[in-house]
Amino acid sequence: MSAPQSSIVDQALDLVDGIYGLVDIAFAHDLAVVFSDVGSHDAARSITSSLVTLLTGIHEELPRTEQLGTLGALLGMIEPFVTVLHELLLEAGHQLGTRAVFAVLRTRRPVELAFAHLRTAARMGATQPVDDEPRTSLRLAVEALLGNLASFADLLGALDPLPPELIESLPRLPHK
């Protein structure tokens, strides 16, 4: 039994859309600035740069991806990085209040489900060929995500992290 190609590509598109939404939330709630306040600026910058690098490689590989299983494996490589980015954004959101926390949390479940469904569907349809039209749609979606993520990485690069001694002296906001 094999998974229909459309469901695999749909899951891949849902995944890319979910990550795009996560980055939008980071912009909307100024979470990049909060990274400096909580001392996770360097980690956020590193993980975002790593995601940009991985997604650039995936974007370049998509035109040569012949099988759906390979497509799932390519996108599965970013899962640990997306998980860490979620955690960092959640930590930063706690400094701002419940609105930011809920916004980050709302993106987590759809992304986790897309990763899980993509893994399962890719295994079931591992040797099915990838058609040009869905591959092109996915490539364009990854391209849009790359632009958004690269902008976030640039913003993180433009912000200077606060010195650790200053971070320790800052009063902590109570969790709202």
Q: Could you tell me what percent of the chain has a pLDDT over 90?
A: 39
Residue 30 tokens, joined: 């100024």
Task: Compute the distance between CA of residue 123 and CA of residue 154 in angstroms, rounded to an integer.
Answer: 36
Q: Taking 60 as the threshold, does the pLDDT of residue 10 lie above it?
A: yes
The pTM of the full predicted model, rounded to 2 decimals, is 0.83
Torsion sign (Cα): 33, 37, 40, 42: positive
In the chain, the N- to C-terminal Cα span, in Å, equals 49
Q: List the one residue out of 80, 72, 92 whose CA is nearest residue 27.
A: 92
Summarize pLDDT for 38-60 with one digit per residue, the tens: 778 788 889 999 999 999 999 99
- Backbone conformation region of residue 157, classed left if phi is above 0, alpha if psi is from -120 to 50, else beta: alpha
Q: Please tell me the predicted confidence (pLDDT) of residue 163.
A: 62
b/e burial code for range 80-102 (CB count within 10 A of at least 16 → b) = ebbebbbebbbbbbbbbeeebbe
